[in-house]
Amino acid sequence: MKRVITYGTYDLLHYGHINLLQRAKQYGDYLIVALSTDEFNWNEKQKKCYFTYEERKRLLEAIRYVDLVIPEESWEQKKSDVKEYHIDTFVMGDDWEGKFDFLKEYCDVVYLPRTPEISTTQIKKDLNKG
């Protein structure tokens, strides 16, 4: 069984995220999403999520490509996650290009093109226009 992992906030969930998850799953049979906790988002990314961790986890678990959701609580957990979950391929959007190459010692590292036209920031801007 080929195991894939990816990380993110996934708030507000949109089709750009789905595109990423769908492509990530193509690298194996089992996809784990390490979902940023509310604390990690606020303390490390200064992101205040609209949906709580539990709500975002529930949404991700409903996606056919996702097999397991685990918490992302620190920047440093990736190496231990890759070992603990016997990961074959680490996948991220290419906005992170090169940032996680240190994992190449432990698994394949793939950066996939983002879906360019959509982002949570854009959604919020458009909604605020009324």
Binding site residues, ligand C2G, CB under 6 A: 6-10, 16-17, 20, 36, 45, 72, 92-93, 95, 114-115, 118-119
Residue 48 phi, psi (nearest 5): -100, 115
Which CB atom, from 17 or from 57, has the smaller least distance to ligand C2G? 17
Nearer to ligand C2G, 111 or 130 (CB): 111
Among 2, 45, 104, 125, the active-site one is 45
Active-site entry in 2, 25, 47, 78: 47
Residues 49, 11, 46, 87: is their CA dihedral positive or negative? Answer: positive
| 104 annotated active-site | no
C-beta of residue 35 within 8 angstroms of C-beta of residue 53? yes
CB 49 within 8 A of CB 9: yes
Catalogue the active-site residues.
Answer: 45, 47
